[in-house]
Structure 1
């Protein structure tokens, strides 16, 4: 689907120079002399390279069309995570590099949204919040209640996050999957 350069937004996927690019930054510039343009910083999805490009406002670029399906997480091995489509029971595997640090938040039967480009999975979106259990945490120091102080904690999946002083080992908490931060105690 063709879009104007002025419609490019952060997070979009563009087909450009025979590759798939994710927009990291965009800035619309209107110089005193000449036409307006969009300065766009993009990262290649496949090659992991960056590109800075200028698009005149009158230019059009190809926005990548993605297919998105719901899948349930099943299990992992050394290099892949395995998911199942709940209606057809079709199984797919996705490399751990695609999911990254968020893979530690996957729990059995967790419903995720997988985006496909040309029938290849390129991204996995977890629910915004997941339940986790605190494995270990430091003792709260007395007198630090004046400022909003947080202390380090390790979750049962191995992730390290910052939690408020009243959280103890064994507590159930909700973690935001987008920024890996503590949300609230259950």
Structure 2
């Protein structure tokens, strides 16, 4: 932990405030007509996900936490946790499943993931932007529907629903964006 002045805070930094850890989302320096400048900071509680607006004077001191992004390989799920392996040391690290939220079904064996560590504790996990998934079921194409018309719902093997073009059928593999479950293209096998 390192102390820094409030006016040195930047987006992406992690601070400790009132006993909780927050990621800085945005900071704004406001200079009123008279008096000292005020730092307006939007931040998100790492544990609860709730957002908070906080104001500091420029001379106020805050606790900055050191963060490190490290690559791991997903090994297997165990209860409420995920077991990851450090590809360099082969040591195992365990993180809670809820670190991924709604993106958890996209996690696949041997997938490379980025984990953000704060003071050695895992607090966030990023999946690859694009993953290949198999379609379990897709609605049949309605007669007369052209290829350029609307997408149809499909269910992936991992249980997530996505909208796909009419020509995509069950059993096919497609590339999906993990952030918002958007169909990108057919997988090139």
Calculate the TM-score normalised by the size of structure 1.
0.82
| C-alpha spacing 1:29/1:117, structure 2 compared with 1 (3 Å) | closer
Q: 2:75–2:83: 8 Å Cα contact kept in structure 1?
A: yes
Match of 1:8 among 7, 10, 19: 10
Deviates further, 73-82 or 30-39: 30-39
Aligned to 1:33: 33
RMSD: 2.6
Aligned partner of residue 169 in structure 1, secondary structure: coil
Q: 1:106-121 to 2 correspondence within 5 Å?
A: 106-121=107-122
Provide runs of 4+ in structure 1 moved above 6 Å.
Answer: none
The Cα of 1:185 is off from its aligned counterpart by 1.2
Aligned to 1:78: 79
Q: 1:1-150 to 2 correspondence within 5 Å?
A: 2=4, 5=7, 8-9=10-11, 11-24=12-25, 26=26, 28=28, 30=30, 33-34=33-34, 35-56=36-57, 59=60, 61-141=62-142, 142-143=144-145, 149-150=150-151
Calculate the TM-score normalised by the size of structure 2.
0.81
| C-alpha spacing 1:84/1:29, structure 2 compared with 1 (3 Å) | closer
**Residues 1:178 and 2:179 are matched in the alignment:** yes
In structure 1, stretches of 5+ residues that fail to align are: none
Query: What is the aligned residue count?
Result: 183
Aligned to 1:169: 170
